[in-house]
Chain A
Amino acid sequence: MAFSEYGNYDALGLAKLVAARKISPRDVIDEAIARAERLNPKLNAIVFQAFDRARDAARGKLPKGPFAGVPTLLKDMRAGAIGMPTRSGSRFSPDTPADHDATLVARYRAAGLVLLGKTNVPEFGIVATTEPKLYGACRNPWNTDYSVGGSSGGSACSVAAGIVPIAHATDGGGSIRIPAACCGLVGLKVSRGRTTVGPDVGDSLAGFSVDHVVTRSVRDSALALDVGCPVDFGDPYFALPPSGSYLEGIKRKPKRLRIAVTTTRLDGSPVHADCAAAVKKAAKLCESLGHHVEEKTPPVDNASLIQFFLTIWAVGTAAGVAAITLFTGRTPSLENLEGLTWGLYEKGRATSAAQYVIALQMLYRIGRMMARFHETYDVWLTPTLGMPPVKNGTFDLDTTDMDKGFGPMTDYVAYTAIQNATGQPAINLPLHWNKEGLPVGVQFVGRAGDEMTLLKLAAELEKAQPWAHRYPKL
């Protein structure tokens, strides 16, 4: 049976229909696959299809979790899943299917999610647009000439296009929030250590990079975090424990919050008018809900932040490439790595451990500075990006010159890397669309460990200015 209202439901909504036996998991999954088959040729969101397995799963005995029968997709980074390769968008990585599930994926399965495949990413998730040589560009459902953002671009694209209501994503510099901003979704980057990256690694990019999901509803993000956040013994460290279930938590309004808002670039220069408009609108909405809002920007030295940040990323890239070499015997070259990746790899190789440790210490200092900022403010509101979504092809990913490659991107990705350095949670919310009909997101940043406040505020804003009815015309 065709299930035409499929797209009207979020993940929890679908799960409730399934639980109430109003629809069978089989129909839900078949509908998701039909949509994937219809839309993916236009969007290039899904890069590995596990449709047969998903059909089998939907026809078998599903775990009785809170997402039982809901289809989802996993990003082509981390989130290893039995039978699926994870190539991180790189020609250099082998397409060997995994022989075990990552702990987080096992939890998703146990919650009843049905895995349809893997989604498109830029190579090693390095850039803020999803246009890898291995898979080709992913296209924005709101306008297929435009970028979906990155690095969780394929996941965001699939959710925005209504293929699945929820998809796995990761964020090491903005990679959950950026595509959520570009595709009009909810994207929560969780606190450092909140979701395990076991069993294969202890942390990723020194804990800068974390896993969660992109969704259409706030409650799906909250529930997915309830599913994903239990501590996994063997992790090298933990996040502060949640004060309770996030899904339960968002049923109550947040207390009156003190919100700092930034309507410019961090250096005080003007930001793109669409982004300024989005953030001003969000600030006004917060104020109308009774929160205290004032214009205030923490003293972040973005230039030095980016310099140290690139050191961490470069070293992570070098170590990642070295690990692949170790397992495959392949030699990295400009033939099998993209230009920008190669540049980072070279920079990473030339970095000493002592330099790496200094970069880390400097970034931790930003954590202390932000902690002081949050002594006064519960939440910091910023644009998610410095511009509306760019067109595909805007950034030169072939250059091996770091300054040339990353220079233009730093105006675009002007707010999101800080939270990866500090370990704070931050959420993109789709509260604004520009004249061209493209989503322009804003991000709310919370205290480290305090996803609860962000999710409560997000739920309050979602209720006040709903976005669930907004769909791209595809």
Chain B
Amino acid sequence: MTIKEYADYDGIGLAGLVAKKKVKPIELLDEAIARAEALNPKLNAIVFKAYDQAREMAKGRTAKGIFMGVPFLLKDINAIATGMPTRQACRFIPAAASDHDQVLTERFKLAGLIPFGKTNVPEFGLVPTTESKLYGPARNPWNLDHSTGGSSGGSAAAVAAGIVPLAHANDGGGSIRIPASCCGLVGLKPTRARVTHAPDFGEIVDGLAIDLVVSRSVRDTAAVLDAVEGPVPGDPYWAPPTGGSYFEGIKRKPKRLKVAFSTRKLDGKPLHADCLAAVKKAAKLCADLGHDVEEASPQLNQQQLIPAFMALWGSALANAIDMISALTGQKPNPLDFEGLTWGLYEAGKRVSASEFLTAKYMMQHAGRIAAKFHETYDVWLSATLGAPPVKLGSFDLDEQDPNKSFAPLIDYVPFTAMQNVTGQPAINLPLHWNKEGLPVGVQFVGRFGDEMTLLKLAAALEKAQPWFDRRPRIAA
């Protein structure tokens, strides 16, 4: 293999070359680093470089996992890794390197992935665009003026630009699916508790948030889920069992599915024409593949759920900042934070525990409504976003009033938070690009615990309408 072809392969493909000894892990890593060095000044996707550490790993005994020797990047939220800081784009968090790998990071490494850095995020992953005072904006490889989405924006940019075939991401309101949508990638948010937060946490944002990756191929996502899923003793609760390997599962077609699709936002407001087009196209593609497709939406009460969601996020943020303050001995100061973060922190501190439980109650009630919906439908298809990727600078992140700061964001991200609320799995697929050449994703939502159906469907759609060779010019 000439290294020029690096980006013609997905992670499984690269690992296959390593297994056949056509290329060495260190050669792959050097190529990835060369690409990072060439592209990162434009993209600002990578915010911490761990090149030397990664080179040591690549030269040593590489774990013989399914991703043996594949270069990888970790998001600057979670995926705590020895020798790397995790700052969540927050100036208040010291740039101290961690002294341990969390279980997820260990499992990535055991699968053969070689992490060589941390990727850009918005502060605490709060917003669907990757723009922070600490790191500056990540730029969309499809058009550098546009946002990568967030919060896993740096990871999505690095994958879309061909620096790595897949990268760690996590999702507490859409943060895997949104950047996957903006950057033309596969982004699966797994079921609540499918991936452990051990040993540092039992749950994150009350079970709203979960980790996985963004990738270019469905099989990479399936294989990485096989590699990292599963509880460890001491986890507070679990997801339903998987029912077998996802990587093997996607080799078989899904059964004939009943697919519901939404052509409007949950509050009845119209979608942007590009998003509507993306949904209709995806619905037609499903129908062409023999699935039963009809228009329907679950009766999720957004008006109730958004304040509940904000109460949970606000109090989690208050808890996080207070914990950091306790550890560093520094008092939080508005100057250390983005305005939007500070406003949510202040609001979060005022949330009473009783209000918190009420919010959680609403959230759990929504889970039952969704479960009822899925007695009829196997899958729910919607736009991932309410509009195509916005330009950088579109949102006022200095605004401290949460009502003002979040309203435009919610309008932009009208669907994805619902699956964090219900705990269901959901996947963004890159099935549409608009006239301006920007990716416009759709998301498929599955039953609680049923990533398998989503991945099988995704693999069938990928085969029917492949996207792998569709690359931004910057990646050429």
Contacts and interface: CB of A to CB of B under 8 A. Distances in A.
A353 B448 contact: no
Given A233-B448, A447-B233, A354 B364 contact: no
Contacts of A202: 360-361, 363-365, 367-368
Contact of A361 (B201, B241, B360): B201
Contacts of B319: 353-354, 357-358, 361
Interface stretch (A302-310, A366-374, A390-398, A452-460): A366-374
A408 interface: no
B209 interface: no
A27 interface: no
Contacts of A368: 198-199, 202, 234
Interface string B331-374: 00000000000000000111111111110110111011011101
B202 A360 contact: yes
B240 A423 contact: no
Interface string B361-397: 1011101101110100000000000000000000000
Contacts of A316: 357
A319 B240 contact: no
B237 A237 contact: yes
Most chain B CB neighbours (cut-off 10 Å) among A316, A352, A369, A449 = A352
7 contacts: A236-B423, A315-B357, A352-B352, A353-B315, A353-B355, A371-B232, A422-B234
A207 B235 CA distance: 13
Interface stretch (A56-64, A75-83, A176-184, A191-199): A191-199
A1 B210 CA distance: 61
Contact of A234 (B234, B241, B370): B370
A348 interface: yes
A241 B240 contact: yes
Contacts of B240: 231, 238, 241
A325 to B, nearest CB: 11
B315 A352 contact: yes
A100 B236 CA distance: 30
Contact of A353 (B193, B202, B353, B361): B353
B72 to A, nearest CB: 26
Contact of A349 (B232, B234, B354, B368): B354
A241 B241 contact: yes
Contact of B236 (A233, A315, A352, A367): A367
Contacts of B231: 240
Contact of B353 (A192, A199, A236, A356): A356
Interface string B196-222: 001101110011000000000000000
Contacts of B370: 234
A235 B449 CA distance: 11
A422 to B, nearest CB: 8
Interface string A296-335: 0000000000000001000110110011000000000000
Nearest to B374: A233
Contacts of B234: 364, 367-372, 422, 448
B3 interface: no
Given A236-B367, A318-B353, A352-B351, A357 B316 contact: yes
Nearest to A347: B353
Ranked 3 nearest A-B pairs via Cβ: A202-B364, A364-B202, A353-B315
Interface in B228-252: 231-241
A76 to B, nearest CB: 21
A434 interface: no
B447 interface: yes
Contacts of A423: 236-237
Nearest to A311: B353
A233 B353 contact: no
A367 B353 contact: no
B358 A322 contact: yes
B201 A235 contact: no
Most chain A CB neighbours (cut-off 10 Å) among B193, B233, B318 = B233
B323 interface: yes
A118 to B, nearest CB: 23
Interface residues of B, number: 54
Contacts of A24: none
A364 B236 contact: yes
Given A351-B353, A354-B348, A367 B322 contact: no
A375 interface: yes
Nearest to A447: B233
B309 to A, nearest CB: 13
B192 A237 contact: yes
B245 to A, nearest CB: 17
A201 interface: yes
Interface string A415-432: 000000011000000000
A239 interface: yes
B360 A354 contact: no
B304 to A, nearest CB: 14
Most chain B CB neighbours (cut-off 10 Å) among A201, A354, A447 = A354
B357 A237 contact: no
A164 to B, nearest CB: 31
A220 interface: no
A239 B240 CA distance: 8
A203 interface: yes
A354 B318 contact: yes
Contacts of B260: none
A355 interface: yes
A237 B196 CA distance: 13
Contacts of B237: 192-193, 207, 237-239, 423
B204 to A, nearest CB: 10
B202 A361 contact: yes
A233 B371 CA distance: 6
Nearest to B359: A353
A233 B447 contact: yes
Given A237-B237, A237-B238, 19 more contacts: A202-B361, A202-B364, A233-B447, A236-B364, A236-B423, A237-B239, A241-B241, A315-B356, A319-B353, A319-B354, A323-B358, A348-B354, A352-B315, A352-B352, A353-B351, A356-B357, A361-B202, A367-B234, A368-B199
Interface in B435-459: 447-449
Contacts of A351: 352-354
Interface string A183-221: 000000000110000110111000100000000000000
Nearest to A349: B354
B371 to A, nearest CB: 3
A352 B192 contact: no
A423 B237 CA distance: 8
Contacts of A367: 202, 234-236
B311 interface: yes
B209 to A, nearest CB: 13
Contacts of B449: 233, 238
A367 B198 CA distance: 11
Contact of A203 (B351, B356, B364): B364
A203 B236 CA distance: 13
A311 B319 CA distance: 15
Interface string B246-280: 00000000000000000000000000000000000
A319 B354 CA distance: 5
B202 A319 contact: no
A448 B354 contact: no
A239 to B, nearest CB: 6
Interface in B297-313: 311
Interface in A230-276: 231, 233-241
Given A367-B236, A374-B233, A423-B236, A358 B358 contact: no
Contact of A236 (B207, B315, B356): B207
A306 to B, nearest CB: 17
A368 B236 CA distance: 9
Interface in A118-154: none
A238 B234 CA distance: 14
A238 to B, nearest CB: 5
Contacts of B350: 352
A241 B448 CA distance: 15
B172 to A, nearest CB: 14
